[in-house]
Structures are given as structure tokens and as C-alpha cells.
A and B are shown apart, each in its own frame.
Chain A
Amino acid sequence: MNQIAPITAAAGCLDTPVLRQRGQREVFCGLTGIVWLHRRIQDAFFLVVGSRTCAHLLQSAAGVMIFAEPRFATAIIDERDLAGLADANDELDRVVSRLIERRPEIKMLFLVGSCPSEVIKLDLSRAALRLNKRFAPELRVLSYSGSGIETTFTEGEDACLAALVPELPAAETDALMVVGTLAEIVEDQFARLFAAMGIRNVGFLPARRAVEMPPVGPGTKYLLAQPFLAGTALGLERRGATRIAAPFPLGVEGTHAWFMAAAAAFGIAPDIAASVLAAPAARAKAAIAGHREALAGRRIMFFPDSQLEIPLARYLARELGMVLLEVGTPFLHREHLAEELAMLPAGTFLSEGQDVEKQLDRCRDAAPDMVVCGMGLANPLEAEGITTKWSIELVFSPIQGFEQAADLAALFARPLRRRALLKV
């Protein structure tokens, strides 16, 4: 029932060589993270300092959200700024003042660096300090870089959270901190389970409001909910927190191990913890069983995108019987992914970074049953007869935890079912 297969190092991929190729990388830049971060931190505004390309990217990524005047915008650098004719700091001040006038409910402003602002070495951290002094205490101004030069896609969230860490209040008591953006509904489910297990002090980073950010200190133990938070983790450790090592809460096994690791770290007896998790785990197992038929034995290949590839692949292989052809990830954090790597089937082909042309060649040669890739590649591959699962849905949908395990499986099963359904 709730027996988890014992994890043996010999069976995993801790020592598996990883292919690294350098060529065109078909992934988003870190600015894209703003699209979900602004939904998460409900009184924050994200001001990108960049070019028209940045504005265009954000509106393309945000889709219909853009029309509701969301809490993000771009201050577009123009010729005069580049020619040094306009003082960039004066310009920024002017833009920010205008913004604050329109949106007085904003409590936190992020100045987000872009590729152009990096190249011309526009010092946004300085600007943030200055603006902070000017607008405090109603508004706090922070800065981070979401440029594609520095950050790949979900690393944008890492940069944002890492900018928050030094501002977190000092913790007075021991507590658990869950790190990484989760959908509200998932967060609430997790909070209920922690409470039921007896872990009372739980904070979530990022919190929903700027003033509610969780405290941190030497008594803080943090649990990563997402695998792309290297910088944030480092920041937390600098403030004395220690990491609870665990796989990521994807699928029944992963979620179970994640909660059990937290329980162990807080001295909760294993049988008590397990009894709290029993019902949801059983429910989830039953729910995903229906998707096994569509997925078992199917061969899947992951193109790099969000760094979620390895935990996803682990779940699909171990609980749904999929066969992993290649798991590509933009960056492989050896330490944070150690538990995941140990759980992967031995000999799984891993790749880090990307040369998209070479990877496409490998894909066509391997002829997988399903490819997980970005929307720039999905339709072209479908036209070649390859079934795809477009990866960004995995970042925007609630997929963590017991109650979402079946939804996650369904995201992969549906494209296969559809292909079988269509007679044209």
C-alpha cells in the first residue's frame, strides 16, 4: 500500500555521465518568471528595465493576462538613454514615480535587469537602494536580473527569491520554510498536511504579500519545493538556515518522501507522519492508476526547459512505467537533485545545456512516443508525426502534491489519447 521501493545507489544515476553540448538554446530567459511571480506575490510590481524586445516577450508570454493591466511593465531604453543624453537614474525615477501614482496599492517593486541593461552596465541595485530610501516605508524596492544572459527561464524565479532573502526578517523560533512558488491550492494542501503531522511553524517563500515574507535564521530548516533555486538556497544558508534533503514533491513517491524528510527533520515519529499521509497517498495512487494504461511502456524524451525534467522523468518512469530515452535539462544541480538522481533508472541518458539542432537529430533518430518540449518546437514536431507535451503547461499548472499527481499524469496521457482518437 504505502511501501516505497527501497532506493539503492547502484540503481540510480548519481554517477551517470551527462552529455553537454553548446549550441543554440531554445529556452526562455528569466524575465518569463515574472508572469507567474506577479500572481504569487499579490502586492508586488515587476518593472523590467530593458528594450522593446523585453516588452514584446512579456506580452507574448502573458497572453490575455496583459490586457488586465497586470502588475508588470517594461521601461524601454531608447536612443537618448544609450547616447548618455538622458540620465538613466533620472529617467528611472520619473518612470517609477508615474507608476506609483497609478498603482498606490503596490507594496514591493522589483527593478528587473535585462540583457540590454546588463550590457550597458546599468546599476539597478544602486537605483533600487536610492528609490528605497525615497519611497520607504510604503514601498520597498529591490532588484534582480532576469536577463537571458544570466538566467535561463525558471532561474528568473531563483534570482527574484534570492533578492528577497537578505530582506527577510530574522527568525526568533525554529521553523520550516518551504521554498519555491507553488499554486495557492497546493500550498494550502501542504500547510494542512504539515499541521496534521505536528509541524506548526511553517512559512512559504514567496509569501502572498510583501509584508508576510517568512523569517529566517539558524533555527530555520528549509525544504525546496522547486529544483531551480540554487541562488536562493545559498542565500538562506548564509543566514543560517539548513536544507532538508529530499526528492521533489511530484508524484506519490516524491511527495511522500518530501513530507517524510520534513517530519524526520522536526523529530516527528515516522509512523505518525506516515499515518497522516496514508489517506491522500492512497487516494492519489488509485487516481493515477487510470493513466498507467496510456503511459506504461511509452518512450519519452525531454528537451531542456524548466529544470523540472529530472523529477518529472523520475515520476513518469517509476510510477507510470514510462521509458526514458533522454532527459535534457538546462542546468543540473548535483546537490539539490541528488535524491532524484538516485531514483532514476540506472543508465538513463542525461544531457545538460543544449545544442538544439543536434538534439533534434537525436530525437528523430530515437523516434520517441512522446517529446516534452517548448512551444517553439512542439507544432513542428507534431507535423513530423511526433506526439508532444508542451512543457510550459507544467510550469503554470498545479502539479505538486498528492491531489495533483493524477492531474500531472493526465497532462502526459492526454496527447497520447488524442492521437489515438483522431481519425484524420
Chain B
Amino acid sequence: MNHVVDTNKLADKLRGASCGTSCGDGEGSLQVALDPALQITGAKVFAVYGKGGIGKSTTSSNLSAAFAKIGKRVLQIGCDPKHDSTFTLTKRLVPTVIDALEAVDFHPEELRVEDFVYPGYGGVNCVEAGGPPAGTGCGGYVVGQTVKLLKEHHLLEDSDVVIFDVLGDVVCGGFAAPLQHAERALIVTANDFDSIFAMNRIVAAIAAKAKNYHVRLGGVIANRSAATDQLDKYNAATGLSTLARFPDLDIIRQSRLKKSVLFEMEDSPALRLVQQDYLTLAETLWAGVAPLAAVPLKDREIFDLLGFE
């Protein structure tokens, strides 16, 4: 009944404009120049989406570890009520933001950083948003609150890389909140019908957000896939492209059970390859991937596109 909020964004004009600071001080004057870090708006922010169970958390936490290995300050935020995004980094299921808020009777201003941010492997800072509080049906609200808290405590800008690991099938309300802060959205998928179908929906949602925010699709990460033929077909049809490909290795499955990231597992040639792939992915993302102007397919189109006759 209530609330039509008029959005009046001038996103196109505004994003990416640089502030023309003067170069060098004049004679006898001390001019104040804007801190360059502020201009570039801080960290590189990635939002990782994908169908439930596809390996987003495994991918995210190993990617975080890889970024840490190449010397970056990383913040990983799990946005799933299952709160299992970061446990391989911290070796435990850390208290969630919801737990912290409950402890202070939902007065967010009482919270301190140490109440909801936990350092893990390689110094990666880990946050789990958690699930919705009992009685409210909007899990997205929690994610929105988490993002707000991170901003208010300046965590987004004190990191070099921020990775949002977001609940898979749902891209509505608060779960879309990470897209308001991300530069690049990455989708984790496998080479099967269901994952690609889910990915298509996510592409559509991200495209919608791209109208008003500066998030763009960065690419696809193929997980647990020996072949990628279906995926390649989809990419060709939509304009997406695959950034990295991780085979279905048992060592990866084991790492989850051992609550470890890949960089901690026992050495083997196969492992070294995967580790290298992650490091390469990290370097690629850090250097910057071009935005993909992908166009989602209609359900009917996907149905016809994928599979065999």
C-alpha cells in the first residue's frame, strides 16, 4: 500500500567520473588533495552466485585464499542462511551477524567489528550473515543489514578484495544487496541442465541491476566439470564466457571434509594444477576482467538449446 520510492538515478553520468584534483601545490600554498583510495572507491568487490550445491563456497573460499597468497587483504562474506561459506578458512562455523544482532537485542550500533568478523587462513576476514530471525520471512533483510554494518565499520574500504558468496537460486530483495556494491558478478555452474538453467535466471537478475548500479557480469566459473560443451553452447548464445574451469577432483571434496582450503592440502601434481588455476583466476580478477554484456535466454530458448536430440 505504502511505498513507491521514486528512484532518480543518474547512474550513467556519475559512475567512474574522476575528481579533478590539482597536481602539485602552488607556491606557498598547501592544497589538500583527495586521497586516491577514496577516488577509486576502495576494494575490488565480487559477488559470486550460482545454484545451490554447485560449489560456490568452495570456490569462494579457495579464491579468497588465492588472493591472500598474492598479497591482498581479503574480506569474504557468506550470504547464505546455511552460514557455511567460510568454515574452511576459519576451521569452524563462526557466529553469524544474526547471532551478533540477537545478542544485542537488534541494536546494530552496539556491535563492534570483532563481534562478527573473524580472521582466517592467510588473514582473510570472514563474515557469515546467517539466516533470518524467527518470525520475519525476509532473509534478504539480513544480507542488507550485514552490508550496512560492513560499511559503517569501514570494512569494505579497508580491504583490497571483497567476495560476497551469495545464496544460489534466489536473487531478490536483500540477496540482491551485494550487487549494489559489487563490480563484477561471477557465476559458478556445472556442465548440466539444471545449473545452467539456474545461471540463466541469475544473469537476468544481474542484467536488471546493471541498469542502476555499476555491477557487470565478469564471467563463469565451471565447477566439477570434465567437459564444458553445454556451457560453451550457452556462452555462445548469451555472450558470457568462462573464466576458469575446475575439474571434479576428489582432493577438492576432501578439503571440505578436512575443513581446509586447497592450499593447505597434501601436495600432489593434480593439486598443484588446481592451486595454480586459482592463483591465475585471482590474478586475472585483480587485473580486471572486461564487463560482459550478456543477454539472458528465455526459458523456452534454453530448453531448446541445451541437451541432445
Contact = CB atoms under 8 A, between A and B. Distances in A.
Given A85-B136, A85-B138, A120 B144 contact: no
Nearest to B138: A85
A83 B141 contact: yes
B2 A85 contact: no
A122 B2 CA distance: 5
Interface string B1-44: 11111100000000000000000000000000000000000000
Contacts of B2: 84, 88, 120-123
A82 interface: yes
Contacts of A120: 2-5
B144 A83 contact: yes
Contacts of B4: 120-121
Interface in A58-84: 82-84
Interface residues of A, number: 11
Contacts of B136: 85
From A83, A85, A121, A122, name the one whose CB has the most chain B CB atoms within 10 angstroms.
Answer: A83
Interface string A112-133: 0000000111110000000000
A373 B141 CA distance: 46
Interface residues of B, number: 10
Nearest to B148: A79
Nearest to A88: B2
B305 to A, nearest CB: 37
B138 A82 contact: no
Nearest to A117: B2
A123 B2 CA distance: 7
Nearest to B106: A80
B3 A85 contact: no
Nearest to B1: A123
A127 B86 CA distance: 47
Contacts of A84: 2-3
A121 B138 contact: no
A85 B141 contact: yes
B104 to A, nearest CB: 15
Interface in B148-165: none
Q: Which of B1, B5, B6 has the most CB of A within 10 A?
A: B1
A119 B6 CA distance: 8
Contacts of B141: 83, 85
A93 B5 CA distance: 23
A83 B4 CA distance: 11
Interface string A312-333: 0000000000000000000000
Contacts of A121: 2-4
A88 B1 CA distance: 9
Contacts of B6: 119
A89 B2 CA distance: 9
B306 to A, nearest CB: 37
Nearest to B173: A83
Interface in A108-166: 119-123
Nearest to B140: A83
Interface string A75-110: 000000011110011000000000000000000000
A120 B3 CA distance: 5
A84 B5 CA distance: 11
Interface string B219-241: 00000000000000000000000
Nearest to A89: B1
Contacts of A89: 1
B2 to A, nearest CB: 5
Contacts of B1: 88-89, 123
Nearest to A84: B3
Nearest to B144: A83
Nearest to A82: B3
Nearest to B108: A79
A89 B138 CA distance: 19
A85 B144 CA distance: 13
Contacts of A82: 3
B108 to A, nearest CB: 9
A84 B144 CA distance: 13
Contacts of B5: 119-120
A82 B5 CA distance: 10
Contacts of B144: 83
Interface of B: 1-6, 136, 138, 141, 144
Closest 10 CB pairs of A and B: A120-B3, A88-B2, A122-B2, A121-B4, A120-B2, A85-B138, A83-B141, A84-B3, A121-B2, A85-B136
Interface of A: 82-85, 88-89, 119-123
19 contacts: A82-B3, A83-B138, A83-B141, A83-B144, A84-B3, A85-B136, A85-B138, A88-B1, A89-B1, A120-B2, A120-B3, A120-B4, A120-B5, A121-B2, A121-B3, A121-B4, A122-B2, A122-B3, A123-B2
Given A120-B5, A121-B3, 13 more contacts: A83-B138, A83-B141, A84-B3, A85-B141, A88-B1, A88-B2, A89-B1, A119-B6, A120-B3, A120-B4, A121-B4, A122-B3, A123-B1
